[in-house]
Structure 1
Amino acid sequence: MTLPDLGGLAVGPALAVGLGLPLALLAMTEAIQVAGRRGHPIAAPLRWTRNWFMPALALVLFLRVAAGFPASSLPVRLAETVLWILAAAGTLNYINSLVFEAAAPGSWATRVPRLLRDLVRVLLVALAGAVVYSQVWGKDLSGALTALGVSSIVVGLALQEPLGNLFSGVMLLMERPFEVGDHIEVGDVSGEVKEINWRSAHLKAFGGLTRVVPNSVLNKEVITNYSRPRKLRMEMVEVSFSYDDAPNDVRDALLDVAAGTPGVLAAPAPIAATLSFGDFGIVYRLIYRTLEEDRWPVRSEVLTRIWYAARRRGLSMPYPVSVNLDYEQKGEFGRPPPSARALLGGLGRFPDLSDIAEASLEALDFARGEQIFEEGEPLTGVMILVQGEVSLQAGAGETAVEVARALPGEVFGESGMYGRQASSLRAVALQDCQVVRMAPDAVSRLFEKSPPLAREVGKILEVRRRAAQSARET
């Protein structure tokens, strides 16, 4: 290669390049500062143009115009190669900034996956390189394309599974059936999506385990997304109750359980439906919503409270039993639960209750954390704690303040002692509790038979009344 005589340097074009480049850089710097102050995403590609493209353009102009190098010379070809590759990359930067990064939330541009944009960027840069190879260097692409085709077949066969995961990932990202943070179920795998990459999706399953699901599997399986349209979980609980229990009573009990269970959302409202008539009882379905992360604890609490509610309301939950009798059974099957009178007698602090009618006493069961009655709720009769521990609180809801605790053998709910009256306190079971509710006439008869017991109960109730009054005044 013969270099041109540098003594024949064109002074005018050289001065134009030498003066034009600093002026262009100055103008570009000013534009970058203005865009940066406004927070416009075009500032980044402008900065890239100033730092990379404009110096390469100045070099090409200097070699071709000022220095007079021919187009076929090696320095010019190298400079033009760099220039056109930078031009292709810069064009993609401008498109990415103006179309995607500046896109309004919810527009089509925001739904194009970044992985797809990166793949398109690589392909376009490779295409620009092929054009430069053909036009700037004057090479024939047919041989290169043939070699590339053969190599692609070999590489495709060798990387069949990774490439399948890659393109499956691209299709999933285009469709976007789920995003990071969603709770999904794919086949027998469920969990929270923690990461989505070109090969797989990482799910945080129940128990903290990480399950890696290949994109090819995701592309074939049915995906259930529990986070759309909202991150709520609809749960369905099916239970059976006896044909002797009125369906409306059962449905009311199920709705009360749902309303009183922490974690069950009030909106949309829970639904209790009569589902079918089974072989051993009527099947009911309780439908409620909860947050996905609270799904299992809430379901457990709902089922637990259904059992206690059924016991309190005298509802029977049948189960399949097949018995062949070869003799006449005179007594009842199983061991009957102790009567309310027997429960009070086992406490050892009450006088003989034989003259109190069994209808005046009612045994009730409450689960730990359940509200026995709310402040202001009408009460008839008093409660006597047989087993467990009860918190007596002044106020309602989260603002309630504990003023006393009832232990086995103690009386609470005294507002209803002489008839139907509003409760002055709120009672919450701290443990699984067994309570006997005594009607007002039975309470009067009990205190007439045992004046010391009446005085003792009166003192305890007075202490609670003062504690409640003090809590309300503070």
Structure 2
Amino acid sequence: MDLQQLPGYLTMALPLLAYAAFLVVMHVGQRRLGALAALKVPLHLAALGLLLRVGAANLPTPWPARLLPYSEALIIFAGVVLIIRAVDAIGVGYLLARLQKRHVPHILRQGAILLADFIAALIVLRQYLNLDVTSLVATSAVVSFVVGLASQDLLGSVLAGLVIGVERPIAHGNWVNVNGMEGRVVDVTWRRTRIETRDGDFILLPNNVVMKDTVTNYTLPSPLHRVRVEVGAHYRHPPNQVKAAMIAAARQCPEVLAEPAPSVFLESFGDSSINYRLNAWTMDYGRQEAIRDEVNCLIWYQFQREGIEIPFPIRTLVAPPPEPSAHEQRQDQIERIVPLLLDSEVFQGVSAPDLLAVADRMNLLTFGAGEMLFNEGDHGDSLYLLAQGRAQVIKRTPEGGQALLATLEEGQCLGEMALLLGLPRTASVRLERDSRVVEIKADLFRELIRAHPSFLDHLSRLVDQRQRANQELAQALAQQKTADAAGGIGQILRKIKSALGL
């Protein structure tokens, strides 16, 4: 190598070193300032144009003259590309997206930029390099056709990406399930959709696969989502108590919405527990695991406070203690019923031994909150005594609605007017909470009246009192009343005898 040519080689090396330094600056700057990403292409083109221009000046003749048009074309093209990026940033990114709050799909923006770059490249090639762009376009069309046949799946993904960008069935940040793969959408490009799973893994799905498969979007059109919590409780706890405890626990979770309100359903009767399902609503599907965890913990503490047992989900072979005989069960029932009968105003004047004689034929029934004991218009062949709980007396109004007439507490009787007068039920009775009710049939009254004739007079006076207090029944019996009270009681006595077959 001639030492006299060494400075010339050093002069050619300086632009290469400068371009390498420029690449380093771009790499570091892009990591620290994301806005430089849009300037990456035009700055690279301009740097290459300048490098070519400086390098050509140190080459022997005729290379400088030959390379100068290419250098100018690169620099001009870099300027046009920079203008295209500026128009996109100002017109679309700022005016449309930020000021007018209009969503422009990222894929469409990128497609428009690429098309503008392609047209600008054709113009620069025609004006500055005198190339026949018509033949170039025809050649590129043929090449595109051949490439398209060889890469149909790729083109399908690109077209599907365009459809996703326009229709937006999924978008960045959405929680989705694609063909059993669940995760959060972190990126949608021309070719593929990237999903991050709950395990922190990334799934790359071609866009044509996303468009073909069933996609469940948990975020659009509304982020409202239901969280299910299943719990088993011991059989000895009434369902309404367990449901109330689960709802109270769910309402303590700050991420559970008040509307729609939490609800609980009895799902099934399992081997060792009654299984319940709580439905709670949240606005963040991504937090459903944390919400389910918190609600489960709150249910456990709520059950502890209320003494509700969550049984072990196992089968245990236990030798049960000897069950009481049928006679012992009836005796226990009689011991519960007789004190209630003695305290009731209906059975005043009847001795305890006589009540004991018929109590074993009375039924002690259990009802849940909201159940109907009987309905208005039903045939009345029984009297009921409220042993435990609370009941509401309801009557239909002429307008078709319902009116609450009274609320009955423990120890009060229900349905005596229909039974004693042989009339249909004049009102309906709904149990307000879990209740136990003693059912007394008409034949038991006949036995008591035969044993105690004065009991019939007591019932007549009781019905007369109820009749006077009940405005609706007084109107129904208005034609049968006489002017004096004695006559009214006499008619009531005859109606009771007729209703009971005496």
What is the TM-score with the length of structure 1 in the denominator?
A: 0.42
What is the TM-score with the length of structure 2 in the denominator?
A: 0.40
Rg larger in structure: 2
